[in-house]
Amino acid sequence: MKVAVVTGGNKGIGLGIVRALCKKFDGVVYLTARDPERGNKAVEKLKSEGLNPSFHTLDILSTQSILDFKKYILDKYEGLDILVNNAGIAFKVAATEPVAVQAKTTLRTNYWGTKELLENFLPILKPGARVVNLSSSCGFLGKLDNCVNKEKGKIIKDKLASEALTIEDLDGLMENYVDTTAAGNHEEQGWISDSYNVSKIGISALSRVLQRDIGKYNSAPDLVLNHVHPGYVDTDMTSHKGPLSIDRGAESSVYAALLPPNTDIKGAYIWHDCQLVDWVNGPTPPMT
């Protein structure tokens, strides 16, 4: 039995991804959420539409929750065929929390939580498995061009773009961002203030490194990991200002999740309309 997992699937783009996979994927689809009540309510909503997702609690900020779910998947299915990492947070534009608080909180979920989940689930991927990391147009490396200190910003960009970038290097850069926001000198050090952008730049960089080094985690054939921009979608995260529906926003993720055997699309930055974008150099296509 094939099995797919979507994190943060109880609302927004995650719910749209679960809905589409239930229609297109020949296997069991797990909608996961940290709140069982909200998760089960979302499952019931999809069942009222004639679909049949399953639910399991998963909090990507809890190591124990990750390990419990990993054991469940291994015991029941002996591995995983599709993993879509959608769970994430963003502070509102009008948020009053200091940059340091926003940085620590945002990266804890969007980068560190996702990374811990990946490190636990990559080893249990089945042959031909597909992994999709939700990045964003905000995760385009060129966003760092908006930094104040152009010289130091270029050094950071070059490190992130390097084909020799390691997980340890990337972790160090993400830690440096959080540390410099706490010290109040992140802009002088070449960073930008938008923590969501930095977190998604981190996820995109992580996706490229993990695809390159996938054999270190799992020797199964045809394992593919990509990162996607879902578009400007009408969700809580965008304060419902996005023009795209959640089902439209799910398209790039579902495309990446269902890539055919032996695809050449690996470690790629996939735009909302499913075209491939050069993450390092751009240009980025229109938002909608």
pLDDT at position 235 is: 81
CA 164 – CA 167 distance, rounded (Å)? 10
C-alpha distances out from residue 266 to 129, 258, 260, 269, 270, Å: 12, 13, 12, 9, 10
> What is the predicted pLDDT for the residue at 13?
97
Does the model's pTM come out above 0.95? yes
Pairing of β 3-6 and β 125-134 = unpaired
The domain made up of 3-95+112-138+197-277 has a fold known as Rossmann fold (3.40.50)
* Bridge partners for 228 per DSSP: 134, 270
pLDDT score, position 237: 73
In angstroms, the CA 238 to CA 288 distance is 14
Q: What is the pLDDT of residues 233-258, one digit of tens each?
A: 888 777 777 888 999 999 999 999 99
Question: 154-180 b/e with 16+ CB inside 10 Å = b?
Answer: eebbeebeeeebeeeebeebbeebbeb
CA dist 32 and 54 (Å) reads 8
Which amino acid is residue 156, in one-letter code?
I
Strands 54-57 and 28-33: parallel
**pLDDT > 90: what percent of the chain?**
94
What are the structure tokens assigned to 95, written together? 């948020």
User: 196, 217, 255, 269: which is the annotated catalytic residue?
Assistant: 196
196 belongs to the catalytic site: yes
CA distance 137 to 67: 31
Report d(CA 112, CA 284) in Å as an integer. Answer: 26
Neighbours of 215 (CB within 10 A): 9
Q: What is the pLDDT along the chain (288 residues), one digit of tens a residue?
A: 999 999 999 999 999 999 999 999 999 999 999 999 999 999 999 999 999 999 999 999 999 999 999 999 999 999 999 999 999 999 998 999 999 999 999 999 999 999 999 999 999 999 999 999 999 999 999 999 999 999 999 999 999 999 999 999 999 999 999 999 999 999 999 999 999 999 999 999 999 999 999 999 999 999 999 999 999 888 877 777 788 899 999 999 999 999 999 999 999 999 999 999 999 999 999 876
